[in-house]
Amino acid sequence: MTQDLRTLESELARLKAENAELRQQLMQAQKLSSVGALASSITHEFNNILMTVINYAKMGIRHKDEATREKAFDKILTAGQRAAKITTSMLSYARAKGDRREPASLSQLVQDVLVLVEKDLQKHRIHCQTQFSGEPWSAVNGCQVQQVLLNLIINARQAMDAGGVLSITVQANPEEGFSEVTVRDTGVGIPADKLPQIFAPFFTTKEVDDQGQGGTGLGLALCKDVIEAHQGRIRVESVVGKGTAFILRFPLVPAPRIASSSKVKTAC
């Protein structure tokens, strides 16, 4: 009897380890799928950057006056910095960091993701608005949280075929000890009878888009798993014909530096 129990415990441990490994593989597959959804827009932007560098370099060669050359150098420097910013954000997102968690600014995580999706949103006629209230910090795995954000943003873009507005807010709720990130769109919305199932694995309300993205029913289930693993919460609000909002909540942790208490509004 004791031997049988040990055998079952050993088998259970093996299955748990196998399940954890499969979940990691699924997360990596979802990550690559998200990158694939943005590849066309990012490649197009890099081409624009290269054309800027080439054209202003030619202008600097043709014109010998100092003012024109200074303008050319400034444009080349700005383009190079933009390319470096995109590359850094992509490497940060793609780099595997296991399950390590550390204090991170949620506002900065959102901004890093927006660098990757900016041109894709513009391409689909989607205006992006952000509002950061202070600078809340949480102990998170930055790559996993960015993966959740990217998944929600791509979902929002797919829900707005004719264009629309994507709003992302980040704020702290010190009284409850949580930080909150809201991703809101003005898309088609989700029927009320579908909302209770929205986070169930393999449940989906959409078809695969023209880029082969979506429709697996795994993205939101993965988002829920990631948020709950961070002792956080995720909920959804939606009205058909008006749009959908996903609200993410993470436990607050002290910031390693003084966070700004001012509200900042930007357009991305």
For residues 4-23, average pLDDT:
74
Percentage, residues of the chain above pLDDT 90: 38
Q: Is 182 helix (H, G, I), strand (E, B) or coil?
A: strand
96-127 per-position pLDDT tens digit: 556 788 999 999 999 989 988 888 899 899 99
DSSP string across 107-174: HHHHHHHHHHHHHHHHHTTEEEEEEEES--EEEE-HHHHHHHHHHHHHHHHHT-TT-EEEEEEEEEET
β-pairing verdict for 263-267 and 126-133: antiparallel
What whole-number distance in Å separates Cα of residue 64 and Cα of residue 52?
19
- From the CB of residue 82, how many other CB atoms can be counted at a distance below 10 Å? 16
- Per-residue confidence (pLDDT) for residue 232, from 0 to 100: 95
For residues 182-211, average pLDDT:
82
Task: Determine the Cα angle at 94 with ends 18 and 203, to 5°.
Answer: 55
What whole-number distance in Å separates Cα of residue 180 and Cα of residue 173?
7
Mean of pLDDT over the chain: 82
**Could you tell me which residues come within 8 angstroms of residue 195 by beta carbon, excluding any fewer than 6 positions away?**
236, 238
Tell me the two tokens of residue 266: 């930007």
Contact yes or no for 128/267 (Cβ under 8 A): yes
Sequence-ordered strand ranges (E) for 196-261: 233-239, 243-251
Q: Would you place residue 34 in the very low, low, confident or very high pLDDT band (cuts 50, 70, 90)?
A: low
Mark out the alpha helices in the chain (DSSP H runs): 2-62, 66-94, 106-123, 142-158, 219-229
Of 158 and 86, which is predicted with more confidence? 158
Q: Would you place residue 261 in the very low, low, confident or very high pLDDT band (cuts 50, 70, 90)?
A: very low
Is residue 247 pLDDT above 60, yes or no?
yes
What are the C-alpha distances in Å from 183 to residues 5, 80, 119, 159, 248? 48, 30, 18, 13, 8
Q: Would you place residue 46 in the very low, low, confident or very high pLDDT band (cuts 50, 70, 90)?
A: confident
What are the C-alpha distances in Å from 219 to residues 59, 78, 153, 198, 225? 47, 36, 11, 10, 10
120-173 per-position pLDDT tens digit: 899 899 999 999 998 899 999 888 898 899 989 999 999 999 999 999 999 998
Across 112-121, 131-140, 220-229, 237-246, the highest mean pLDDT is recorded for 237-246
Q: Which CATH code is given to the segment(s) 101-267? A: 3.30.565.10
**Could you tell me which residues come within 8 angstroms of residue 26 by beta carbon, excluding any fewer than 6 positions away?**
218, 222
What are the C-alpha distances in Å from 140 to residues 24, 40, 77, 146? 16, 30, 34, 10
- Per-residue confidence (pLDDT) for residue 3, from 0 to 100: 72
pTM flag (> 0.75) = no
Q: Would you place residue 221 in the very low, low, confident or very high pLDDT band (cuts 50, 70, 90)?
A: confident
For residues 194-204, average pLDDT:
83
Query: Which of 81, 87, 165 is closest to 130 using CA atoms?
Result: 165
Q: Is 233 helix (H, G, I), strand (E, B) or coil?
A: strand
Which residue's entry shows tokens 């707005």? 160
